[in-house]
């Protein structure tokens, strides 16, 4: 107090009076924000965009929320692309009245393949049947397929199949936000390790930059980011068999950066299909099981959600 009085006597403004001017927020403002958040939820105002998976929505406090980073990770072949694909299209089905746009940074597979996966579930045909691998697709089945995919033509989804730099991704997000500030942008990165960068920088450095840029875009534009990421090989060490190869945060590639920046980290395991696990897995029959381990959840519960996965037709449902 004496120091502040001395400064005041010299004509200088006390530092405590400048705090809000230099970026600090007084607790009273934060309390007002918390009251508004609860009030909006009470009045049914959109705070989250729900998927069609009830248990997942509950863990995510309603669904995917603005200004958040969601990580979906797994070993190759675990089903992270199929899971994220269905999650996003189901989210669009559930929120047709909302002002959404999805940018699908589809660096690992051609975009038409994502549509084949969506339609495979609807028409109940395996990929080999749709592509006439053994027997040519019947005329009526082809008609059913074309009708199914035609329903998606007006969806606000834009694919980009060519790897781009992180700066380019941010530039597009900025332009879309300036065009319509009320629109919610959802970025899906499939997958993070294929984002373009200089050859002088390591893959991990590019991943860290992408993660930090996602946080910036969330803060500036309110975007939702969904990152698909690999797990490292630690999970497949022989000693991990005693834990049925259940994933941990340390298995996430670039875990120090992504784990800190993410709101939610979801880790996929298919114990029977990937590792031949026959015994009960977290109380579940491992056959057909897609185990979604939520290993980080800033505002909700962690734990495993069991899904039934028919990967022949890319149909994933909660058990």
Residues 47-83 have pLDDT tens digits of 799 999 999 999 999 999 999 999 999 999 999 999 9
Paired with 228 in beta bridges are 72
Percent of the chain's residues with pLDDT above 90: 64
Cβ atoms within 10 Å of 118's Cβ, excluding its own: 21
CB neighbours of residue 60 within 10 Å? 25
pLDDT tops 90 at residue 94: yes
Q: Cis check for the bond before 191: say yes or no (omega within 30 of 0).
A: yes
Report which of 225, 193, 189, 197 is spatially closest to residue 104, judged by C-alpha positions: 189
Q: How much is the mean pLDDT over the chain?
A: 88
Give the pLDDT band (50/70/90) at residue 110: confident
**CB-CB neighbours of 25 under 10 Å:** 10
Average pLDDT estimate for 148-155: 92
* % the chain with pLDDT above 70: 91
**Domain ranges across the chain:** 1-45, 46-318
**256: its two tokens:** 């120090």
In tens, the pLDDT along 9-35 reads: 556 778 778 888 888 888 888 888 888
Instruction: Go through the chain and tell me how many residues it has.
Output: 319
What is the Cα–Cα distance from 67 to 263, expressed in whole angstroms? 9
**pLDDT (average), residues 268-294:** 97
Q: What local confidence, expressed as pLDDT, does residue 239 receive?
A: 92
Mean pLDDT for the stretch of residues 32-46: 78
Strand partners, 266: 72, 294
Which distant-in-sequence residues (6+ apart) come within 8 Å of 24 by Cβ? none
Long-range contacts of 121-125 (CB under 8 A, 24+ apart): 121/86, 121/313, 121/314, 121/315, 122/148, 123/148, 124/313, 125/313
Give me 70's structure tokens. 């969601």
Alpha-carbon separation of residue 183 from 50, 186, 223, 319 (angstroms)? 17, 10, 9, 34
Is pLDDT above 60 for 170?
yes
Q: How far apart (Å, rounded) are the C-alpha atoms in residues 268 and 291?
A: 6
Whether the per-residue pLDDT at 111 is higher than 80: the answer is yes
pLDDT at 191 over 70: no
| pLDDT (0 to 100) of residue 2 | 45
Q: Is the pLDDT of residue 292 over 60?
A: yes
CA distance 140 to 249: 47
- In whole angstroms, how far apart are CA 74 and each of 116, 218, 293? 22, 24, 10
What's the pTM value of the predicted model, to 2 decimals?
0.86
Q: What is the mean pLDDT of residues 135-157?
A: 93
Chain centroid offset of residue 223 CA: 11
Q: What is the pLDDT of residue 208?
A: 81
Residue 1 has pLDDT above 90, yes or no: no
Cα–Cα distance measured from residue 265 to residue 302, given in angstroms and rounded to the nearest whole number: 9
What confidence category does residue 4 fall into, taking pLDDT thresholds of 50, 70 and 90?
very low
**pLDDT band at residue 7 under the 50/70/90 scheme:** low
User: What is the C-alpha to C-alpha distance for residues 300 and 122, in angstroms, rounded to an integer?
Assistant: 32
What does the pLDDT read at residue 164? Answer: 83
Predicted pLDDT of residue 139:
94
Question: Residue 260: its pLDDT value, please?
Answer: 85
* pLDDT score, position 50: 96
How far is it, in rounded angstroms, from Cα 203 to Cα 85? 25
User: Is the pLDDT score of 315 beyond 90?
Assistant: yes
Residue 286 Cα to chain centre, angstroms: 25
Closest CA to 246 of 276, 267, 273: 267
pLDDT given for residue 193 in this prediction: 55
Residue range 46-318 in CATH 3.40.50.2300: no
């Amino acid at each position: 107090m004496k120091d502040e009085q001395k400064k005041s006597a010299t004509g200088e403004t006390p530092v405590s009076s400048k705090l809000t001017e230099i970026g600090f927020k007084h607790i009273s403002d934060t309390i007002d924000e918390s009251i508004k958040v609860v009030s909006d939820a009470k009045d049914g105002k959109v705070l989250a965009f729900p998927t069609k998976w009830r248990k997942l929505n509950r863990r995510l406090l309603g669904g995917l929320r603005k200004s958040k980073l969601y990580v979906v990770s797994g070993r190759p072949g675990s089903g992270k692309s199929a899971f994220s694909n269905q999650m996003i299209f189901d989210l669009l089905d559930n929120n047709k009245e909302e002002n959404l746009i999805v940018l699908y940074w589809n660096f690992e597979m051609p975009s038409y393949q994502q549509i084949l996966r969506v339609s495979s579930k609807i028409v109940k045909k395996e990929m080999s049947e749709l592509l006439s691998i053994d027997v040519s697709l019947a005329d009526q089945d082809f008609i059913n397929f074309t009708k199914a995919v035609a329903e998606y033509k007006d969806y606000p989804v834009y694919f980009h199949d060519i790897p781009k730099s992180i700066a380019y991704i941010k530039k597009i997000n900025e332009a879309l936000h300036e065009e319509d500030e009320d629109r919610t942008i959802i970025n899906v990165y499939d997958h993070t390790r294929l984002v373009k960068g200089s050859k002088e920088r390591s893959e991990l450095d590019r991943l860290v930059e992408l993660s930090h840029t996602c946080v910036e875009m969330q803060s500036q534009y309110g975007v939702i980011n969904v990152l698909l990421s690999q797990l490292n090989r630690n999970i497949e060490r022989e000693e991990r068999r005693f834990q049925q190869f259940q994933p941990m945060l340390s298995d996430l590639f670039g875990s120090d950066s992504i784990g800190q920046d993410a709101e939610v980290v979801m880790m996929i395991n298919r114990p029977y299909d990937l590792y031949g696990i026959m015994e009960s897995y977290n109380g579940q029959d491992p056959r057909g099981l897609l185990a979604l381990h939520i290993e980080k959840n800033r505002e909700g519960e962690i734990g495993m959600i069991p899904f039934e996965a028919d990967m022949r037709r890319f149909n994933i449902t909660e058990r």
